[in-house]
Amino acid sequence: MKDIAIYGAGGMGREAACMINRINFANGKEVWNLVGFFDDGIPKGHGNEFGEVLGGAETLNIVDKELCLIVAIGNPVLIRRVVENIINPKISYPNIIDPTVDFWDQDSLQMGMGNIFCPHCSVSCQVKIGSFNIFNGDVSLRHDVSVGNYNAFMPNVKISGGVKVGNGNFLGINAAVTQYKIIGNNTRIGAGSIVMDDTEDNNLYVGTPAQRKEVAHE
């Protein structure tokens, strides 16, 4: 059993705690021991039904024993900022994968670290996934999809075969991307939108077919 903590004590953090419990139950043993939460926006000692806030990034940087960490935030900009602010070599980032996630071909799958797969996601063959991505339930990645780092896929997002997703993108609930399109970097796709052409970086796309609406300022 390994000690694990969650950065982010809000809704996504609580869902991550649920998945830890689900993983432990599915394995019939305590794979993970949740020690608590870290959050720079919630005072130490406060928390939620799954545990207390133990501090923020500054506290994590002085942890003196091995600790696994889940960065459970739905905002790609904040995910990256948190990860870059944690410089303690004692901190590691496992991939947290709900027991219901369906990987069609483990042999061809390539994946980095710190990814979160919520329930009922589906990943096809020859898929490449970087690090610190959130797949927030019922997300589908089809054949030959490539995903970079620090992306947030909200529930029921559908990524068709051959799509390339870069870094720092946010795809809203029920969004879809048609086959072999390119989603570059720092792009926001609105809820329910269907992307049928390559997107330009640092922009917001909404509608069906998705159209560029405004420059995304972070």
CA distances from 125 to 44, 74, 148, 165, 198 (A): 43, 26, 17, 16, 22
**Any idea what DSSP says for residue 65?**
S
Which residue has tokens 């909404």?
Answer: 206
Q: In the prediction, which pLDDT does 43 show? A: 93
Q: According to the model, what pLDDT value does residue 215 have? A: 61
> Rounded to an integer, what distance in angstroms lies between the CA atom of residue 186 and that of residue 139?
19
CATH of 97-205, one of 2.160.10.10, 3.30.1380.10, 3.40.50.300, 3.40.190.10: 2.160.10.10
Distance, CA of 102 to CA of 93 (rounded, Å): 21
The predicted structure's pLDDT at residue 106: 95
The pLDDT tens digits for 102-159 are 999 999 999 999 999 999 999 999 999 999 999 999 999 999 999 999 999 999 999 9
Any bridge partners for residue 121, and if so which? none
d(CA 28, CA 113): 24
- pLDDT range class, residue 68, cuts 50, 70, 90: very high
Show me where the domains of the chain are located. Answer: 2-94, 97-205
pLDDT of residue 216: 45
**Overall average pLDDT of the 81-100 stretch:** 98
Domain 2-94 is found in CATH 2.70.50.30 = no
- Give the pTM: 0.95
Give dist(CA 207, CA 74) in Å, integer.
21
Q: What is the pLDDT of residues 160-216, one digit of tens each?
A: 999 999 999 999 999 999 999 999 999 999 999 999 999 999 999 999 999 999 664
Q: What is the pLDDT of residue 87?
A: 97
